[in-house]
Structure 1
Amino acid sequence: MGVTALLVLMWAGTGHTSLPVDVINKCCPQRYSLTDDIKCVERGHEWYYMNFSYGFPNCNYLLVSVNESDVVSCIDNSFERDSIVGLKCKADPFRFQAPEVHYVRKCCTIDRSYDAVQQSCFGERIAKSRHPKEFFNVLMSGYKGIVDIRVGAPDCAKGYVLVDHLVHFNNVRREESESIVFQQYGDNPKIFNPDEVCMDFTERHEMLVIRACQPAEIVCRPHGILTCIWKCCADGKAFVSNESLDCVPSERPMESPKYFNITSRGPVEYEATSPGFFYKGPCSDKFVLKPEEQSADIHHIGIDGLLYMSTVPVGVSDFCVEDVYNVEEGLDGVKVFKCFVDYDADSRAVMEVYGYGMTVSVMFLFLTFVVYSCLPSLRNLHGKTLMCYIVSLLCAYISHALLIYNWSPTEIWMCKAIGFFDNFAFLAAFFWLNVISFDIWWNFGAIRPKKSQGNDKKRLVAYNLFAWGMAACLTTLAIISQVTEWFPQSMRADMGINYCWYEKSTYAFYIFFLMPTSTSQACNLVFFALTAHHCAKVRNELQRMAHTNADESRFKADKKKFIMNMKLFLVMGVSWVLENISYWDLNNDYNIFFWTDLVNSLQGLFIFAIFILKKKVLKAFVRKAKEVFVVNRTR
C-alpha cells in the first residue's frame, strides 16, 4: 500500500472529517480530467507539490464548481470548462478544503527541456533535466497549494502562428491572473493568456523559451520579420512510421528546412532563424508528397514563406513540411507536402454535380460503345471514327470524375500523369471530332469520282495517325516544356502545382490545349459549312432533274449523318468554348458558367441520345441480343 493511501486510512481511523491539508483527493488519475457527465477523459494535466489520493467518493455526490477553501470530496480539472470542479457529498468522511491551484503550461515533458536551435523537446542540445519545482520557482515564489502543469505547445487559433522567444528568466513573471508577462530586448512587455503560451528551460541555463501564439499578419513576412510555414503534424508528432504516412508521436527532432531568397538570378540559400510554425497541416491529409526532383521541377521554400515550384509561387496554406521516416517508401528526412486545391462549400457542391454528370456520361458512353461494337451495320468507317471519339472522351471523363470525387493521388507524379493523360484524351476527342467532320465532307460535301474516295482501311489508318498522333505530339511538347529548360518560363506547363492541370500563371494552356482545340473547331465549322452548302445544292439538283431511288436514298442517308454530327459538334464545340472561358474566370464564380459546364459533363448522355435512341438502331440491337440469347441457350 502506498504512503499516501496509508496516510489517508490512518487519518480516517482517527474520526476526523477531513483530510490533512497536504493530502488532496484528485477525482481522476494524473493526465485525466473530469467531464460534466462524471467521466475521466485524458487531457494532459499533471498535478504536483501535494500528496494525492485518487478516485470518486463512495456516496451520492454532486458536481460543483470549486473555489479555494470550498469543502469537497474530490477535485479535478473540468474537461469542458477549463476550470476546477469537484464532487461533493455530505456523508463522505474524507472531505477537505480545496487548496489554491496554479496553472502553468510546460512545453516539454517533466524530464525534458527545450532545444531552441532545433525547436524540439528531443534535440541534441537539451539542458540537464531539472525538478519541476525549480521550473515553477522561476515564475513565482511563495506559492501554496497545487501546481497544475499541462505539457505541450498551445493550440493556436486560426490566423495565429507559434513563435519562439528566448528570454532571460529575470524578464519573465506570472501574474496572479495566471497571465504570462515577459520583456525581450528592451521592447514593451508582452502579455499572454496562459492557454496561448508554454514555457521551458533551454540549453542555456539562464534563458527560458516562451512559445507564444501570435497573429501571423503581424509577425510573419511580408509585414513581419519571421518566415512562417505549416508543419503537417502537431507539435511532437511526425510521419515517422514503417508502414504509412500518419502523424504519430516522435522523439526525433525535425531538421530545419532550407529557406531561399528567390532572386532574378535564381534561389540563394538564406538562414531563417527560429521560423514560426502553424501546426496540424493546412489541408487535412489532402496533400501529396513532393520529393526532391530533378531539372526544372525542383522546389524551394522562400523566406517569404511561399513554396516556389520552379518559379511558380504556392501559397503558405497550400503546402506543409514534415519529418518523414518510411522504410517501405524509402523516405527519410524533412519533406515538403503539396496540398490539392480545396474548394469552399458552394464550389464543392457545384463540383459534385459535375462529378455526377460525368458519371452519367461514362455510363452512356460505355453503352454507346457496346451498341456500336455489337452491330456490324454500324461498324462502317463513320461508325469506327465515332467509336474512337467515344473511347477518348470516356478516358478523359473517368480521370476527371476520380479527381472530383476526392480521389487524391499519393504522389506528385501521379497528379502530373493524370493531368497530361487528361490533356491527351481531350485533345484526341477534339481531333476525332475533326476527323468525323472531315469524313462527312469527304463523302458528302465534295464532288469527286468514286474511285478517288480511296480505300476505307487506308483512310481509317490515316485518321488514327492524325487524331492520336496530333494529341500525342502536343502532349509530348507540354511534357517537354515542364521537364526541360527548352521553353521559356511563360510557356511551361507547370502541371501538378496548384491543380492536376495547367498552371494559370503561364501561357501553356493556350499553346498546348486552347489553340489546337480552337483551330480544330474552326476547321469543323468550315467542313460543316461546305457540307451544308453542297447538301442544299444536291437537293435542288434532285428536285430539278430525273434521279434514281438509289441516288435519293444515298442523299438521305448522308444527310442524316450530317445532321447527327452537326448536333454532336454543337453539343461539344459550343459548350467547350464557354468551358474554356470559365476556366479563366478570375472571380471563380462557378454559378455563371454552371449550365454550360453541366452540359459538358453530360455529353455522354447526349451522344447516346443522338446516335442510339433511334428506332432502327434500337430494333437492330434488340434483334442482336435475342440472337445471342438463343445461341447461348442452345449450347
Structure 2
Amino acid sequence: MWFPVYVCYFLVTVAAAGDFFSNGEPTVFRKCCPRQHSLVKVVTDHYKHFDCLDRLSLAQTYNISYSPLIISDERFVTVDYGLPILCDGINMIVSAVDLEAKLSTSLNICYDRLVAEVSNGTLMPYIPQTIGLTCINNETETKSESALQINHVRKCCKKGQVFSARYHVCVDSGDNDEQWIVDRLNLTDSYVYEVDIGLQCKSDEYAVELRQRDYTFSVDKNVLIATNRNDRSKTDSLMKGEWCMDQGYDMEDMVAKICTRNCATFNAFCVRKCCPEGYHYKVRRCNSLVSSCVPNVDEQNYFQPMYYLEPLRNDHFGLTDIMGIRTNLECPDGKFVLNRSDPRDNHRLTAEGLLESSISLTSDYCIEMFDRRHCPENDVISSTVLCFIAAEKIKDFRVAFVINSISSVCLALTLIVYCALPELRNLHGQTLICHVSMMLLAYSCLARVQYSPVFDKLTCKLLGNLYPQLLYKLVK
C-alpha cells in the first residue's frame, strides 16, 4: 500500500530537484583565490604573475584595504578555487567583467577581484575591479555559461565602522564587515557581490540618509529599492553607484545613503556642510573664525548643528527626521563666516532649508563645526559660511574721454580754419562747417558724460538726448 506513495514522493522529489538544478541550481563559480582573498598583479622586467592575499596581508604589505568578493552559501553556489591549471601569468588574458554578463563555468577561466598592481616593487595607481583570467593554452575547449552574475553593493563605512545618523559620520564599532550587509538583505538566491566602500555623490547632489524605521529596503542585483513604510506607493529605485548601506550606530537597523538632487522626494531636510564627511573646521587664529578643515578627533567635532536645527524641530514636528547632507561650497570671490555673537550677523534656517540673514535669503551657504578649544573660548560651536558677493564692475571711461577730447580739439581746429579763411567758405566749405560743428557738439557731449557722472537730472537728460539726435542728423 505504501509503495505507490513512495513512488509518488520519489517522483516529486526528482522533479523538484530537476527544477532546482535547471533554474535555481547550485551554480559553479570559478574563483581564482581562496575565500576572503583577492588578486594582486605583480609585474617585473622579466615576468608577471598573480598573487592571492587576504585583507590583513594587503594592509601589511601594501597599506591598502579592499573587501573580497562575497559569495552565497554552498546551497546555491559551489565554488571552485584556483587559477587555471597548467597556465602561467604570461599565458593568461585579463579581461574586465561586465556586471550584466553571464559567467563562464569553464576550467579555463577564473574570476576574482583585482585590487592592486605592483610593478618592480612599486604600487601603481589602480582602480579595483572584478576580472576574468583566461588561459590561452586551450582555446578549443567548449565555452559554457551559468546564470550567475557579478553584482555590486556599496558599504557606507569601512570595515569595523558603522554609520551614525545622529552625527552623519562613520564611527568605530567592533568588527562590522561587508558580509553583515549582504546577510541583512536576506538574499536567498545564488549571488556574487563585489563591495566598495563609501559613497561619492555628484557635486550638485545631496546624500540623504534613510533609516529602516522609515523605509523598507530590498536589493535586486545592483538596484536598491526603497519603500516608504507610511506610504507604500512611494517606492524609489536607486541604480549602481547612487546608494550605499550600513549598520546604524547604537541600533540594529540598517541605514541607506542615497544620492539625489530632489530632497522633497524623500521628505528630507537638506543642508550643506562645509568640510568633507569626517572633517571639521579648526580655528587657525584665535579671536577670529579663519579656519581649515581637519579630521575629526572626538565626538565634539561631529557634525551636530543643534543651534540651527532645534528651533526648526520645535516649530515643525518631524521636519529633520530625515536629513540630507551636501558638502563643499564653491565661492569664486572668497568666503566669510557669520558671527553668531554679533547682532548684525543674526541669521537662521528656514523650513525650506534656506539661510535667512540680514543681507540675503539664499541656498548658497554651508554649516560647520568650529573647534576653538585651543583658544580662550575653549569650545566647539557651529556657524555658517557665506560667499562674498562679487563687487559690481564699474566701467572706466577715462581713456575714451581722453580720445574723444582729442577728437573734439581736432574738430575745433578744423572749424576755426574753415571759418577764418574766406576762400574756404564756398558751398562745399559751408557744408563742411555745418557738419564739423555738429560733430564737435556731439563729441563734446560724449566727452563730458565720460569724464564723470552727471548728477543734475536736467543736464544729464540734455546731454543724453542731444548726443543721439546729433548723430542721427549727421548720418541722415
TM-score, normalising length: structure 2: 0.52
Do the aligned partners of 1:260 and 1:269 also contact (CA within 8 Å) in 2?
A: no
Aligned to 1:14: none
- Shift, 1:140, TM fit: 3.5
- Shift, 1:285, TM fit: 9.0
Query: Is 1:47 the counterpart of 2:68 in the alignment?
Result: yes
Give the 3-state SS of the residue equivalent to 1:183 in structure 2.
strand
Query: Is 1:306 the counterpart of 2:327 in the alignment?
Result: no
Aligned to 1:194: 240
Aligned to 1:595: none
- Shift, 1:325, TM fit: 2.4
Q: Which piece of structure 1 moves more, 187-196 or 253-262? A: 253-262
Do the aligned partners of 1:73 and 1:89 also contact (CA within 8 Å) in 2?
A: no
Query: Is 1:334 the counterpart of 2:355 in the alignment?
Result: no
| Code of the aligned partner of 1:289 | V
Do the aligned partners of 2:224 and 2:238 also contact (CA within 8 Å) in 1?
A: yes
Query: Is 1:213 the counterpart of 2:263 in the alignment?
Result: no
Do the aligned partners of 1:74 and 1:88 also contact (CA within 8 Å) in 2?
A: no
The 5 Å alignment of 1:480-499 reads none
Aligned to 1:436: none
Q: 1:65 aligns with which of 88, 92, 96?
A: 96
- Shift, 1:72, TM fit: 5.0
Per-residue CA deviation, residues 187-237 of structure 1 (Å, 9 max, x unaligned), is 233221131111111246442112222332634xxxx84432211223233
Aligned to 2:197: 151
Per-residue CA deviation, residues 4-42 of structure 1 (Å, 9 max, x unaligned), is xxxxxxxxxxxxx995764865236899xxxxxxxxx99
Aligned to 1:27: 40
Distance 1:198 1:253 in 2: 21
Aligned to 1:119: 168
Per-residue CA deviation, residues 366-387 of structure 1 (Å, 9 max, x unaligned), is xxxxxxxxxxxxxxxxxxxxxx
Give the 3-state SS of the residue equivalent to 1:247 in structure 2.
strand
Q: 2:277 aligns with which of 235, 240, 258?
A: 235
- Shift, 1:73, TM fit: 8.2
Distance 1:320 1:77 in 2: 36
| Code of the aligned partner of 2:114 | D
RMSD: 5.3
Query: Is 1:184 the counterpart of 2:228 in the alignment?
Result: yes
| Code of the aligned partner of 2:347 | H
- Shift, 1:319, TM fit: 0.9
Aligned to 1:294: 342
- Shift, 1:53, TM fit: 11
TM-score, normalising length: structure 1: 0.41
Paired residue total: 324
Distance 1:570 1:155 in 2: 51
Distance 1:286 1:329 in 2: 27
Do the aligned partners of 1:164 and 1:212 also contact (CA within 8 Å) in 2?
A: yes
- Gaps in structure 1 of 5+ consecutive residues: 1-16, 32-40, 362-563, 578-635
Distance 1:19 1:567 in 2: 83
Q: What percent of counterpart residues are identical?
A: 15
The 5 Å alignment of 1:180-579 reads 180-187=224-231, 188=233, 189-203=235-249, 205-216=251-262, 218-219=264-265, 225-240=267-282, 245-251=291-297, 252-259=301-308, 272-283=320-331, 286-310=334-358, 312-316=359-363, 318-325=364-371, 327=374, 332-341=380-389, 571-574=451-454
Q: Which has the higher helix share?
A: 1
Do the aligned partners of 1:73 and 1:87 also contact (CA within 8 Å) in 2?
A: yes
Do the aligned partners of 1:75 and 1:87 also contact (CA within 8 Å) in 2?
A: no
| Code of the aligned partner of 1:230 | R
Aligned to 1:496: none
Q: 2:186 aligns with which of 140, 152, 157?
A: 140
Residues 30 and 194 of structure 1: is their aligned pair in 2 closer, same or farther, counting only changes over 3 Å?
A: farther
Distance 1:73 1:203 in 2: 35
Distance 2:153 2:268 in 1: 27
Distance 2:151 2:346 in 1: 51
Do the aligned partners of 2:151 and 2:193 also contact (CA within 8 Å) in 1?
A: yes
Give the 3-state SS of the residue equivalent to 1:163 in structure 2.
strand
Do the aligned partners of 2:34 and 2:82 also contact (CA within 8 Å) in 1?
A: no
Residues 20 and 120 of structure 1: is their aligned pair in 2 closer, same or farther, counting only changes over 3 Å?
A: closer
Do the aligned partners of 2:167 and 2:304 also contact (CA within 8 Å) in 1?
A: yes
Per-residue CA deviation, residues 529-556 of structure 1 (Å, 9 max, x unaligned), is xxxxxxxxxxxxxxxxxxxxxxxxxxxx
Do the aligned partners of 1:199 and 1:208 also contact (CA within 8 Å) in 2?
A: yes
